[in-house]
Structure 1
Amino acid sequence: MNDVTTEKDTVLRLADSLLSARRSDTPEYKISKDTLEANIDYKASDSIVMIIPTRNITLYTNAEAKYKDADLTADHIVYDQDRNVVIAHPTVDTAGKPVGIPKMVQTDNTMTSDSIVYNIKTQKGITHNTITNSGEMFVHAEKMKKMTPEEYFGWKGIFTTCNLDTPHFAFRTNKMKIINKKFAITGPIHPEFEGVPLPIYIPFGFFPLSQGRHSGLLPPQFTANDQAGLGLEGLGYYKVFSDNFDAIFRTNLYSYGGWNLYVSPEYRVRYHFSGTMNFALQNTKLLATAGKDAYTTSKTFSFNWSHQMDQKARPGTNFNANVNVASTKYNQYLLNNPTANYTNQLSSSVTYSKTWVGKNTYNLTVSGTHNQNNSTRIVNVSMPNIAFTAPTIYPFARTTFVGAPKWYEKFGVGLNTTIAGGASFYDSLFSLKRLTDTFQWGAQNSIPLTLALPLKGAVQVSPGISFQNRLYSRKLFRKYDPVTNRVDTAGIQKGIFYANDMSFSLSLATAIFGTFQGFGKYSKLMGIRHVIRPTVSISYKPDMSGPYYYNLTTPYDTAAGATKISHVQRVSYFDGSTYGPFGEGRFGGISFGLDNHIEIKTRSKSDTSSTGVKKTTIIDGFGFNGSYNYLADSFKLSPITFYFRSTLWNSINITGGASLDPYQTDTFGFDRNKYAWQGKSFSLGRITSGNLAISTTFKSKPKDAKLEQQKQQLQQNQMPMTMEEQQAQLNYIQHNAGQFADFNIPWSLNLSMAFNFTKSEKPDYSGFQTNITSSLNFSGDFNLTDKWKIGLNGYYDLKYQKLQSITTNISRDMHCWQMTINVTPVGYSHYFNITISPKAGILQDLRINRTKYFYNE
C-alpha cells in the first residue's frame, strides 16, 4: 500500500514539474549541444531502415529530406546522426542508366550531382559532377565545395548558357568561386565549342550572375561601308542611376570621320508615371559619288519623348507626351533602316487634361502639337491648344424627378470653347523673328441646343440648334500678280476679328430589317439578314459669313497667242487661319444618308446542335451621304460620298470610299452650274477622289499553343508604347527579322495594298491636278525545316511600277545559339548582315557579326 502511494506521489510531482517547464520561458532540462535547430522531415517510397548501433538512417527509392530551406532528393539518402551528415547518391537500373540523381534546392539555387555529402549543422558539403544554374548561366564542375548557402568553390568546371548535359559551347577553367545570384570569378579560362578547345586563353574570368538591372559596358559590332568606311557600331555604356531611372549611351564611329551619338534614358515610378527619351546626333561623312567635293557631309538630330501617366495616380488628371522631332534629312541618313528612309511625316503631341467631377462635370484640356514634312521641309507648330467643355444644362428639368420626364424637360444647353495658336515655317529659314511673324491665334465658341423628342413608332426625331463664334488674329489679302503670273499675298492685317455662324436642324433616323431564308431544308446557307439605316436631316443656315469673302480674279491662256480669259472665284480673308472660315452662303435643305449591313447564317453539316449555327458578317457597312440646298443660287446638290467596309472570313479587311461630283466642268476643270446628266451623253458625274485599302494576315497554328499563350501574355505585360515607338520597333524587326524568328509558327503571310487619288486645285490657282499614291506591302516567313526559317518583306510602288524596297532573312536555330542573315538588295540603302550570337541575354554581346551596307544618294 505504501509503495503504491509513493509511486503515485512521484507521478504527480513529475506532472507538476513538466507543467512548470511548459509555463517557464527557460526549460529546467538541459539541451544537447549537437541538437539541430529544426526538425528533419524525410520520406521514401520503398522503405526507411534505422541501424541503432551506428545511428544511421537510410531512405530507399524516391527519398526526400527537408531541413529548414534545404530540400534534398535522391534515390538513396543516408543520414549519419553522430556526424549530422547526409549522403545522397543514385542507383543504376538494368540498362545501366542512373536513377534518382541527387538534387538539392536551397535559397533559389538548384544543384544536381552524381553524389552529395552535406553537413546539416554546418551547411557545408562536397559534390561530384555537379550542374547548377543562376539565372541564364549554367555551371558544371567535377567537384564543388559548398561553404555557405551563397558561396561555392569549384574544380575543373565550365560556364555556359546551354542547358544540355553536354553543352554546345562553354568556357572552361580549373578553379572557380561562385557567389550565388551575384557573380562568379575564375582562374585562367578558355572557350570551347562541341568539346573542342579554342587557342584563346584569358588570365581570369568574371561572370555576372546578378538578376535585374546593373550598369556595364556595351560592346560594339564591326561594320564596313564603302562610303562611310570601317565602323564600330553600338559602343556604349548602360547606367543604372536608381530603381526608377536608367540610361543607355551609345555611339557609332567610322573611319572616314563620321560618327553618331545616341542617348536613351528611361524612367518609371510604379502606379504614377513612366516614360522614355531618345536623343540622336548624326555627323554624317560619306564619299561623294558626284560633284566637286570628295565627301558629302551633314549634321542632323532626332529627339523622341514618350510619357504616360497612370490613371490611378491622380483620378481626373492626366498628362501624356509623344514628341517626335528630327532634322528633315535625319531619316535619309539612317543607312541600315530602309523603311525609315521613306518616312517623310513626323508629328508630336503633348496633352494635359483635368476633369472636375461633382454635380456638374467640367473638362479642361491643354495641348500642343507639331508636324513636319521632310519633303517640303515645312514645319507646323500648334500651341497652346486649350479646350473647355461645360456640362449640358437642362433649364426646364425638375429638381426631383417623379415619373416620366416631360418632353420639354429634355431641352439642353451646352458650351464648348477652344483657343489655339500656332506658326508655320521652313526649317532652313527658322528664326525667332520668323516664328513670331508667322504666329497666329484663334478662338471658337460653340453653344449647341439639343432636344430629344420621344420616339414615334420606329422613327427617332432629334431637333437641334447650334451657334458658333470664332475669333481671328489676322486677315489675309491676295491678288494676282501679272509679272510673276501667279497669286501672291497682297498683305496681312493683324488685329482681332470675329465671325459668327448659326444652324438649325431636325433629323430623323430609323432602321429597316429584312431576311431571306428560302435556301432549302438541307442547304448550308440558312438565311441572309439585311439592315438598312436611312437618315434624313432638314437644316437651315443663314449666310452670316458673306462679308468675309471677296472675288479673286485669275487670267488663263486658252492657247498659245490666244486672248486670255479670266476665272473668278470666292476666297475668304480668313483662309489659312487657325480655325478656317465659315462656309459662305445660305443653306436650307436636306442632308441624307443610307447605310447597309449584311450578314449570313450558316449551319455545320457535322454539328447539328445549336452550336453548329454560325453568323458571319459579309459587309460591315456600305452606303452614301450627301445634301441638297434649296436656297442656293447654284450648285444646290453637294458631292456624294460613298463608302464601303468589310471583313471577309475574319481575315481580309477591306475599306474603300469615293467622292462623286455631280456637275460638269469647264476647260480648266472648275465646276459649271449644270448637272452631269444634262449633257449630250448620260453621266452621273466625276469621281474626284477615292481610296481603297486591303490587308490580310494568314498564319499557321502554333506548334506549341501554351508557348504562344505565354508569349502573348508577356507582350501584354510590357510597358505601352507610342505609335512612333511601335513604328520604330517594327522598322527594326522588319530590317532584322531573322533575330525575331518564331519557329513556333511554321509559316505566316501579311499583305496590304493601298490606293488613293485626289483632284486638287493647283497652288497657283491655274487649274486642277490629280495626285495618286499606291503601294503594295508584303511580308512573310516559313520554316524550311524545324531549324531553318526564311523570311521576306518588301514595298512595291504600284504608281511607278517599281520595287522600292525588299529585305530577305534566313535564320538558323542552333539550340543555345542563333544565326541570322539579313540582306537588302533593293532599297534606299543596300544592306548585308550576318550575326551568330547566343540566345541568352547575359551573353547577348558575345556575338560574331559582319555588316556591310551602301547608301544611295
Structure 2
Amino acid sequence: MMNGRKNNLKDGSALILSIWLLLLTSNIWANYFYTPHFYKSLTQNNQDTTKPVRPLDTIPKKLDSLPRIADTIPSKDTVINKTDTVNVPASEDSLDAPVAYKASDSMVLSVPEKKITLFSKANIKYKDMDLSADSIEMDNAKQTVTATYRKDTAGKIIGKPVMVQSDSKMNSDVIRYNFKSQKGITENTMTIQGEMLVIGEKVKKINDKDYYAYRSQFTTCNLDTPHFAFRANKMKMVSQKLAVSGPIHPEFEGVPVPIYLPFGFFPLSQGRHSGILPPQFAQSEQFGLGLEGLGYYKVLNEYFDVTLRSNLYSYGGYSLFLTPTYRKRYRYNGTMNLSYQYTRMLQNASEQEFQTYKTYSINWSHSVDSRARPGQSFSANVNIASTKYNQLVTNNPTVNFTNTLSSSISYSKTWGSRFNLTATANHSQNNQTQDIQLSLPNLSFTVNTFYPLQKKEFTGTPKWYEKLGIGLNTTAANQMNFKEKDFSVRTLLDTLQWGAQHSIPIQLSLPSLGPIQISPGISYQEKWYSRKLTRSWDTVNYKVDTSVTKGLYRASDVSFSLGINTAMYGMFDKFGKKSPIAAIRHVIRPNVSFSYKPDLGAKHYYNLQVDTAFGKNQVTGRYEGHQQRFSYFDGSIYGPPSEGVFGGIGFGIDNNIEAKVRSKKDTANGGMKKVRLIDGFGFTSSYNFIADSFKLAPFSLYIRSTLFDKINITAGATLDPYRTDSMGFRINRYTWQSGAFGKTSIGRITNGNIAISTSFQSQNTKDKKAAQAKEAALREQGGVLTAEEQQAQLAYARANPAEFADFNVPWSLSLSYSLSFSRTIKTDFTGWQTQTFSNLSWNGDFNLTPKWKFGMNGYYDIKSSNIQQFTMYISREMHCWQLSINVTPVGLYRTFNFTISPKSGILRDLRLNRTRYFYQ
C-alpha cells in the first residue's frame, strides 16, 4: 500500500496528451513547405558578457579598463555560427527525406493513431513521388499513405487519385503507398507508358520502375471503356522499357476474340530500338502472291542505324532495299537508299511465259548544319536509277510517271565577303529516251564586285568614278552523254568533253538624273572548248553528216552597254463614294539600253545546205535547198559564241496594276485594302541597226497575276515579227508587210505557255494553331524531318491518301492546268513542226459525314485525251482505329487496297491489309 499523494487519472492523461501533442506538432506546419526560424526577442537588453560582442551590435560599447589578455575561447563560436555540435542518432524508422503535404479544405490529426487526413485537393510530395487525390490519409506509424476519391450528389467522381513518379503516371480508384519501401498497391488503375495504356484491376508497385498487374488490359485507346484491348491475367511492366504477360487474347468492344497467344511482349521504350519489320500481304496477276515490307531495323549507335526491307513474290520476283541513316546534331545528317529489283512478270503472250527485268536505284541525301563550319557548306542529293526502275515500282502512281531524274553534289567555300569557290557534280537522265548525262567535276570561282578606285575612308558624297566596279566569274565543267545500254568506260571517254568560261563584268553607277537612272557597263567573255563539231552535206545520199575533232579551241566576246530606266505612276480614283473600288493605280517601268558588240564570233559559223527543196540546178547539176547557219561549237557545254555585229537598242516595259477597295470587315487603314490585280505584264525586245537582215528581235511577252489571292496565273509567249516561206524557214520580211490585215499581221507566236492553279479549303483556326504548336515542339526537340524524309513521307501519303485523311478539314480542292507549245525543226531538217503539251490535274476531298471522308486525285492529258492517272479513296474515322480504301482504276498500275489499322505508331504494323494490283 502506497501512502503517497493520489494522482487523478483524468488530469494525468490530459497532461500526457498535451505534452505529446506539443512534441508531435512542434515542427508541423500545414499547407506550408518551409520551416520558420525564431530568434532572440528584441526586447532583451541584457548583454551576455561571456560571449564576444558582435560587430553589428547597436548598443554603445563601453571602454574596458581591465588589461586585455589573450582569448582562450576557440575562434569558431558555435553559438554565433549556429553549428549544432550535438550528435543525435536518428531512428531507423525515420524517413530519409521530408514529406510536403497540403490540402485546400482541411486537415484532421489523430494523435493516438498517429494519422493525418487531408481533405479536398490533397497533395503529397516525397522525393520524386507526387500524389494527388480528393483525400489522402497518412499513417505515421506504418509510414504509408492511402489516397481515394469521392462522388458528388450527381454521382460524378471528384479527385481521382493520380500518382507521378519517375517517367510513369497512373490513375486509380485507390492508391496505397509505403514511403519506406516505396511499394504500393492500387485498384482499377490506368497507367500511360508512351503511346500505350495499361489498365489493371489491381497493380502492385515493387519499386519506382517495376509493376505487376492483375487482370490487365493493354491498349492505345484512351477511353474509359476502350474500343479494343489485349487482355491478360498477369502482366509485369518495366516503366518505359517493356511489358511481358502470360497467355493473352484480343477483344473488341468488350467482346473477346478466340485467338490466344502463349505470351505477350510489348516494347514500351521511347526512341529508336532494333526489331523485325512485319510484312503485308499483296496479290497480283503479274507478280503472284507477295509479302511486301518484310525486314529488320538495326540501331548500331546513337549516330547510325540501318533498315533492310524486302518484297517477295511467288512467281520468283523480289526486291531488296537497304537504307542506312546517320546524324550528328548541329553537324550533319544524311540518308542513303540502295534498291535492287528482280522483276518476273507473267505475260499474256503464249510464246513467252515470263518477262524479267533487273533494275537498281541509288538515293543519297546529305546536309550540313550551317553553324558547323561557317564559310563552308556541303550538300548532296543523288538520285540514280535504271531507266526502267520507276515503271516497275508497284502501288506508286507518282513514281511510275516520273520520267526524269537528277542528282547534285555541291561543296562551297567563301573567303571573307569577296571570294567564293564552288565544286559540283551533276547527273540527269531521261527514262523515256534512256539518255544519261554526267557533269563532273564542275568548278566555279567568283570574285564579287569590288571598287578599286574607292577610298578606304572617305567623307561626304563619293565621286562618280569611285563607283566603278569590277568582278570575275570563272567556271569549268566536264560532261559525258550516253545511252544506258551503251554504258562502258570506253563510252565515257569517247563522249567526254570539257569547257571553261570566263566573264569580267565592269559596271559604273552614275548619279540619278531626277527620276532617270543611268547604268553603263562593259563585259568581256571568253570560252574554251575541247572539241569542234563539223557538219557537211552528202551530195550522194542527200543528207547531213557530222564529224568531231578534239583539241583546244577558244572564242571571245565583248560588249558595251548603257542602260536607262525609270518608273511612271498613274491613278484613277473617280469611282464615287459608294463604289466598292476606291482607286486603281497603274505603274509603268520602261527600260532602254544602248549596246554595241563587235562580231568576234563570225569565224566560228558557217552555212550549210540541209535539204533539196529547190530542186536540181541546171548549171551545176546539183540539187539545191535551204541553207542553215551552224556553229562549230553547237552542243558544247557553254554553247557557241554569239554571232554578228550588234549596235542597237534593247527595250522593254514592265507593268503592274493595283486597286484600293473598301473592306467592310477590316477597319484598319481607314477601311481600305490593297489588292493586286496584275502582278506584272510586259515585253522585251531589241533592234540591231548594224545588221543587214533580221534587225528586229522576237518579242518576249509575259504576264503573271494572283486573282483574289487564290488563282495563280503565269503565261508567256514569243512573238516573231518575220514571215516564213512554204517550208517554215524565216525570210527577211515583216509580217505586217503582207498588205492584208489578219491575225498574223503583227507577228507569229512561235512558242508559248500558260499555267493556272488554285487551291481552296475550309478554314479551321484551332487545328491550324495546334499544328503550328506541334511543329514548334518538334523543332525544339530536334525532330524536324529533313527535306528528303519529307519527300519520302509525301510519296507514301500520295500512294495511300486514305491513311492520311484530315477529318478536321471538311473539304479541300486543288486544281492546276498547264499548256505549252513550241515550233522546232525536224530531225531531218526538212521543215518545222509544232509540239504541244497540255494537261489538267486535280486533288480534292470532302467529308460525307463527320467520320467518313471521300477524295480523289488525277492527271488528264488533254493532248492524247486520256486520263493518265486516277486515284480515289474513302476513309473512316474510328477514334483509335482508321479504315482506308484506295482504288486506282486507271494508270500504269491498277490497284485496290483495303487497310484497317490502329492510329498509334507503336501498333502501326498490327493491321489488316488486302492489296491487289495489275500491271498494264
TM-score with structure 2 setting the length: 0.89
> 1:191/1:603 Cα in 2 relative to 1: closer, same or farther (>3 Å)?
same
CA distance in 2, matches of 1:51, 1:567: 116
CA distance in 1, matches of 2:715, 2:570: 25
Q: Does structure 1 residue 536 correspond to structure 2 residue 592?
A: yes
Offset at residue 37 of structure 1 (A): 1.9
Offset at residue 785 of structure 1 (A): 1.2
Q: Where does residue 575 of structure 2 map in the other structure?
A: 519
Q: Where does residue 243 of structure 1 map in the other structure?
A: 302
Q: Does structure 1 residue 175 correspond to structure 2 residue 238?
A: no
Offset at residue 636 of structure 1 (A): 0.4
Which of 499, 507, 511 is 2:563 aligned to?
Answer: 507
CA distance in 2, matches of 1:158, 1:611: 63
CA distance in 2, matches of 1:394, 1:87: 82
Which of 339, 344, 347 is 1:288 aligned to?
Answer: 347
Q: Secondary structure at the match of 1:753?
A: strand
Offset at residue 710 of structure 1 (A): 3.2
Q: Which moved more, 1:331-340 or 1:321-330?
A: 331-340
Which of 808, 811, 823 is 2:887 aligned to?
Answer: 823
Residues 32-71 of structure 1: pairs in structure 2 closer than 5 A:
32-71=91-130
Q: Which runs of no fewer than 5 residues in structure 2 stay unpaired?
A: 1-46, 52-72
CA distance in 2, matches of 1:543, 1:288: 62
Residues 629-644 of structure 1: pairs in structure 2 closer than 5 A:
629-644=688-703
> 1:315/1:142 Cα in 2 relative to 1: closer, same or farther (>3 Å)?
same
> 1:35/1:718 Cα in 2 relative to 1: closer, same or farther (>3 Å)?
closer
Which of 619, 622, 625 is 2:681 aligned to?
Answer: 622
CA distance in 2, matches of 1:736, 1:21: 77
> 1:638/1:197 Cα in 2 relative to 1: closer, same or farther (>3 Å)?
same
Q: Does structure 1 residue 687 correspond to structure 2 residue 687?
A: no
Residues 40-119 of structure 1: pairs in structure 2 closer than 5 A:
40-119=99-178
Could you tell me whether the CA contact under 8 Å between 2:543 and 2:611 is conserved in 1? no
Which of 210, 218, 221 is 1:159 aligned to?
Answer: 218
Could you tell me whether the CA contact under 8 Å between 1:253 and 1:260 is conserved in 2? yes
Q: Where does residue 3 of structure 1 map in the other structure?
A: none
Aligned residues: 842
Q: Which moved more, 1:522-531 or 1:702-711?
A: 702-711
Which of 542, 546, 551 is 1:495 aligned to?
Answer: 551
Could you tell me whether the CA contact under 8 Å between 2:167 and 2:239 is conserved in 1? no
After superposition, the C-alpha distances for 1:461-517 in whole angstroms (9 at most, x for unaligned) are 00000011111111111123356553231x211111100100000000111111111
CA distance in 2, matches of 1:307, 1:803: 37
Q: Where does residue 602 of structure 2 map in the other structure?
A: 546
Task: Looking at secondary structure, tell me which structure has more strand per residue.
Answer: 1
> 1:725/1:243 Cα in 2 relative to 1: closer, same or farther (>3 Å)?
closer
Letter in 1 for 2:747: G
Could you tell me whether the CA contact under 8 Å between 1:702 and 1:746 is conserved in 2? no
Q: Does structure 1 residue 472 correspond to structure 2 residue 494?
A: no
Q: Secondary structure at the match of 1:597?
A: strand
Offset at residue 607 of structure 1 (A): 5.4
Q: Which runs of no fewer than 5 residues in structure 1 stay unpaired?
A: 1-7
CA distance in 2, matches of 1:61, 1:720: 46
CA distance in 2, matches of 1:336, 1:698: 28
Q: Where does residue 696 of structure 1 map in the other structure?
A: 758
Q: Where does residue 868 of structure 2 map in the other structure?
A: 804
Could you tell me whether the CA contact under 8 Å between 1:703 and 1:744 is conserved in 2? no
CA distance in 2, matches of 1:836, 1:18: 78
Q: Where does residue 409 of structure 2 map in the other structure?
A: 350
Q: Where does residue 4 of structure 1 map in the other structure?
A: none
Q: Does structure 1 residue 654 correspond to structure 2 residue 710?
A: no
Q: Does structure 1 residue 139 correspond to structure 2 residue 203?
A: no
Q: Secondary structure at the match of 2:626?
A: strand
Q: Secondary structure at the match of 1:242?
A: coil
Ranges of 4+ aligned residues in structure 1 off by more than 6 Å: 558-563, 714-717
Offset at residue 704 of structure 1 (A): 3.3
Offset at residue 648 of structure 1 (A): 1.1
> 1:67/1:835 Cα in 2 relative to 1: closer, same or farther (>3 Å)?
same
Q: Where does residue 743 of structure 1 map in the other structure?
A: 807
CA distance in 2, matches of 1:415, 1:607: 51
Could you tell me whether the CA contact under 8 Å between 1:257 and 1:285 is conserved in 2? yes
CA distance in 1, matches of 2:601, 2:239: 79
Could you tell me whether the CA contact under 8 Å between 1:513 and 1:530 is conserved in 2? yes
CA distance in 1, matches of 2:84, 2:542: 108
CA distance in 1, matches of 2:497, 2:427: 15
> 1:729/1:754 Cα in 2 relative to 1: closer, same or farther (>3 Å)?
farther
After superposition, the C-alpha distances for 1:76-109 in whole angstroms (9 at most, x for unaligned) are 1110110011011111222233322111111121
> 1:726/1:20 Cα in 2 relative to 1: closer, same or farther (>3 Å)?
closer
Q: Where does residue 213 of structure 1 map in the other structure?
A: 272
CA distance in 1, matches of 2:84, 2:316: 79
TM-score with structure 1 setting the length: 0.95
> 1:729/1:797 Cα in 2 relative to 1: closer, same or farther (>3 Å)?
farther
Offset at residue 604 of structure 1 (A): 2.0
Offset at residue 38 of structure 1 (A): 2.0
> 1:658/1:386 Cα in 2 relative to 1: closer, same or farther (>3 Å)?
same
Q: Percent identity?
A: 56
CA distance in 2, matches of 1:744, 1:721: 26
Q: Where does residue 832 of structure 1 map in the other structure?
A: 896
After superposition, the C-alpha distances for 1:383-410 in whole angstroms (9 at most, x for unaligned) are 1111101233323222321221100111
Letter in 1 for 2:130: D
CA distance in 1, matches of 2:822, 2:777: 43
Could you tell me whether the CA contact under 8 Å between 2:149 and 2:157 is conserved in 1? yes
Letter in 2 for 1:548: H
Which of 504, 507, 519 is 1:450 aligned to?
Answer: 507
> 1:676/1:695 Cα in 2 relative to 1: closer, same or farther (>3 Å)?
same
Could you tell me whether the CA contact under 8 Å between 1:700 and 1:746 is conserved in 2? yes
CA distance in 2, matches of 1:652, 1:525: 20
Q: Where does residue 841 of structure 2 map in the other structure?
A: 777
Could you tell me whether the CA contact under 8 Å between 1:634 and 1:673 is conserved in 2? yes
Q: Which moved more, 1:475-484 or 1:280-289?
A: 475-484
> 1:816/1:558 Cα in 2 relative to 1: closer, same or farther (>3 Å)?
farther
CA distance in 1, matches of 2:350, 2:831: 38
Offset at residue 610 of structure 1 (A): 2.6
Q: Does structure 1 residue 419 correspond to structure 2 residue 481?
A: no
> 1:18/1:504 Cα in 2 relative to 1: closer, same or farther (>3 Å)?
closer
Which of 821, 824, 828 is 1:764 aligned to?
Answer: 828
Could you tell me whether the CA contact under 8 Å between 2:611 and 2:829 is conserved in 1? no
> 1:55/1:804 Cα in 2 relative to 1: closer, same or farther (>3 Å)?
same
Q: Which has the larger radius of gyration?
A: 2
Q: Which moved more, 1:480-489 or 1:259-268?
A: 480-489
Offset at residue 334 of structure 1 (A): 1.2
Offset at residue 255 of structure 1 (A): 0.1
Q: Secondary structure at the match of 1:37?
A: coil
